[in-house]
Amino acid sequence: MKDPLLNISKIDMVFPTPKGDFTALKEVDLKINKGEFISLIGHSGCGKSTVLNVVAGLYQATKGGVLLNGREVNQPGPERAVVFQNHSLLPWLTAYENVELAVKQVFAKSKSAAEMKEWIEYNLKLVHMDHAMHKRPDEISGGMKQRVGIARALAMQPEVLLMDEPFGALDALTRAHMQDSLMEIQDELNNTVIMITHDVDEAVLLSDRIVMMTNGPAATIGEILDVKLERPRDRLALAEDPLYNQYRSAVLTFLYEKQRKVEEIGSAAKADVKSSEKKQAESA
Partner 1 sequence: MSSLIAQLITRKNAPVVKAQLPTFLVNFLHAVLLPTIGILVFLLFWSVAANNIDTSLGKFPDPAAVAAQVGNLYDEHMESRAKEQAFYERQEKRNAARMAKDPNYVAKIRAYTGKETFVDQIFTSLITVMSGFLLAAVIAIPLGIAIGLSKALNTACNPIIQIFKPVSPLAWLPLVTMVVSALYVSDEPMFAKSFVVSMITVTLCCLWPMVINTSVGVASLNSDWVNVSRVLRLPALKHVQKIVLPASVPAIFTGMRLSLGIAWMVLIAAEMLAQNPGLGKFVWDEFQNGSSQSLSRIMTAVIVIGLIGFALDRTMLQLQRVLSWDKTTQVR
Under rule CB under 5 A, residue 39 binds Mg ion: no
186-215: burial string, b at 16+ Cβ within 10 Å, e else = beeeebbbbbbbebbbbbbbbbbbbbbbbb
Give the closest residue to 195 by CA, choosing from 37, 11, 26, 7.
37
Among ligand ATP, Mg ion, partner 1, none, what does residue 240 contact (CB within 5–8 Å per kind)? none
Q: The sheet that has 71-73: what strands, in order across it?
A: 20-32, 6-17, 63-68, 71-73
Which residues bind to ligand ATP, rule: CB under 6 A? Answer: 15, 17, 22, 24, 42, 44-50, 216
Q: Report the partner that residue 110 touches, choosing among ligand ATP, partner 1, Mg ion, none (CB closer than 5 to 8 A by kind).
A: none
Residue 43 as a binder of partner 1 (CB under 8 A): the answer is: no
Q: Does residue 91 touch partner 1 according to CB under 8 A? A: yes
Residue 66 Rama label (left phi>0; alpha psi -120 to 50; beta) = beta
Nearer to partner 1, 43 or 80 (CB): 80
Cβ proximity to partner 1, 73 vs 205, nearer residue: 73
Query: Least distance (Å) from ligand ATP to the CB of residue 6?
Result: 18
User: Applying CB under 8 A, does 76 fall inside the site for partner 1?
Assistant: yes
Select the span of 49-57, 87-95, 204-212, 261-269 touching Mg ion (CB under 5 A): 49-57
**Nearest approach, Cβ of 239 to partner 1 (angstroms)?**
35
How many Å apart are CA 244 and CA 172, to the nearest integer? 20
Touching partner 1, residues 117-156 (CB under 8 A): 136, 138, 156
Residues 82 and 49: their CA atoms lie apart, in Å, by 11
Please identify, using beta-carbon distances, which residue of 138 and 226 lies nearer to partner 1: 138
The yes or no reply on residue 53 touching Mg ion (CB under 5 A) is no
| 3-class DSSP state of 254 | helix
Cα 172 versus chain centre, distance: 17
Stretch that binds partner 1, among 2-10, 51-59, 64-72, 268-276 (CB under 8 A): 51-59
User: Which entry of Mg ion, partner 1, ligand ATP, none binds 17, CB below 5 to 8 A by partner kind?
Assistant: ligand ATP
Size of the chain, expressed as the number of residues it contains = 284
Neighbours of 262 (CB within 10 A): 8
Q: By CB under 5 A, is residue 49 in contact with Mg ion?
A: yes
φ, ψ dihedrals at 15, nearest 5°:
-100, 125
Select the span of 5-13, 90-98, 208-216, 247-255 touching partner 1 (CB under 8 A). Answer: 90-98
Q: Which residues pair with 195 in a beta bridge?
A: 39, 163
The DSSP H or E segment spanning 146 is helix 142-155
Which residues sit at the interface with partner 1, rule CB under 8 A? 56-58, 75-78, 80-82, 84, 86, 88, 90-92, 101-102, 105-106, 136, 138, 156
List contacts with Mg ion (CB under 5 A).
Answer: 49
